[in-house]
Each structure stands twice: as C-alpha cells, then as structure tokens.
Amino acid sequence: MKKYALVTGGSRGIGRAVSVQLASQGYCVLINYKSNQREAQKTLDIIIENGGEGLLMPFDVADAKEINITLETWIEQNKEAYIEVLVNNAGIRKDNLLFWMTDEEWNDVLNTSLNGAFYITRLLVKYMMNKKFGRIINIVSISGVNGMAGQTNYSAAKAGIIGLTKALALESAKKKVTVNAVAPGFIETDMTKDLNQEELKKLVPAGRFGKAEEVAELVGFLASEKASYITGQVITISGGL
C-alpha cells in the first residue's frame, strides 16, 4: 500500500529538503504551501526527477476551516490511504522587540507556527492512532528552547509546540505514534537570507550555517521505523550553538 507523508511549508527551504528526503524513503509526499505554487512545483519536480511521488496540497496552516476542508476532502477521496507521517514545518518570523510588537506581529506568528500545528495534528493524529502507527515531527527552533531577543512571538510559538510535542507524545505512545521536535539553529534558507551570515556564523561552534538537507536527514530518521523508541524529545541541530 502506498505510504503518505504531509509536509507543511514544503515549497521552500527546510520543507523542500524534508519532502525530497521522505520521497526518497518511499513516501508519496503531500507538499503543502501557502501561495508560492512555482516553488512548490519545483519541489515536486525534484521528487519526480529522483523517481519519487508527490502532489501539491495548498492551504493556509493558520486557517482551521481551510485545513479541515482540504484534508477531509482528500481523506474522503482516498479512503485506502492514510497519512502516516506529518511534518509540521510551515513557519514565519516577524521580529520586533516586545515593547514595539504589534498585535498583528504577535498573532500572525502564533497563528501560523503554533495554531497551524495544532489544527493539522488534531485532524491527523486520530487516524494514526487508529492504524497504530504514526510519526509527527515538529520543526521548532533553538529560539523556542533558549529564547532569542527580538523574537518573543517566535520563541513563544516554538516553545508552545515543544509543550504540545511532549504532552501529545504521552497521549499517543501506546498507539505507536511518536511525536518529536527538531530544533535547528541557523539554516541557510529564505528565512535567514536577511541575516548577516558572516557575523552570525562566528557564534556557531561549527563555524557555519547548516543546510536544509542536514535537517532533512534527521527528520527522515525520526520518520523511520528505526526511531520507534524515540518520542517526546526535542533534538537540536545547530552546529553546537
């Protein structure tokens, strides 16, 4: 039977690398994105070029209604299939110091990064528990583990997902559904292209930014059968930062 994986924010950066990795592990990848269809198609093209399978699934992760309609329709039309791997990767940054932070900056980041993961996970985890196998991997950040000045919204969202990860792992372990978080440091993607890489890499013991493919390898391992006894964990991938 065909195995399915859903990667949110699969059109670019870490989500693209994760989509390509999971396709190489035999998954038909549902590539979610918000608006960038051209980039999402590029992810799909790479998967197909490598002999894998996937399809595009646009929706806004911050919109519970749109998620329910899109995913429930897909599930209804694909009764035999079930999504056994979910990677909650979609995320945005809107940095500001707390005393200047607007409601919009706060809410946009929380709605996308934290609420989005809640809406999708709530919908899919029940199928995974029914089938007695599932993998949920949440892409968080060292900003959510340690806190980062200028990112109270982002740190709060990522710390919130870490809490969700640990609590849901306890709810789902007996049903063989593992729930883990991956916390990257600085990774070279569109999200970090406005940062001063030359300066910031001096802070990283490994002396460089990471690559999306390096994060994808870790996600691929957590998604595999080999990682069955790892759950409720936050695994940092940051070159020692």
Query: Could you list the active site residues?
Result: 154
The residue within the footprint of ligand NDP, chosen from 152, 189, 231, 236 (CB under 6 A), is 189
Q: What is the largest CA-CA distance in the chain?
A: 53
What is the rounded (10 degree) CA torsion for 147, 171, 218, 41? -90
Distances (CA, A) of 116 to 137, 233, 237: 14, 20, 23
Residue 5 within binding range of ligand NDP, rule CB under 6 A = no
Which region, judged by CB under 6 A, interacts with ligand NDP, from 73-81, 122-130, 163-171, 182-190?
A: 182-190
Residue 186 within binding range of ligand NDP, rule CB under 6 A = yes
**Closest distance to ligand NDP from the beta carbon of 168 (Å):** 17
Number of H helices and E strands in the chain, helices first, is 9, 7
Hey, which residues between 48 and 77 contact ligand NDP (CB under 6 A)? 60-62
Hey, which residues between 23 and 42 contact ligand NDP (CB under 6 A)? 32-36, 39
Residue 102 within binding range of ligand NDP, rule CB under 6 A = no
Residue 232 is encoded by which pair of tokens? 């409720």
The single-letter DSSP state of residue 97 is -
* String of DSSP letters for 106-170: HHHHIIIIIIHHHHHHHHHHHHHHHHT-EEEEEE--HHHHH--TTBHHHHHHHHHHHHHHHHHHH
Residue 153 vs 189, nearer CB to ligand NDP? 189
Residue 192 within binding range of ligand NDP, rule CB under 6 A = yes
User: What residues line the site for ligand NDP (CB under 6 A)?
Assistant: 8-9, 11-15, 32-36, 39, 60-62, 89-92, 112, 139, 141, 184, 186-187, 189-192
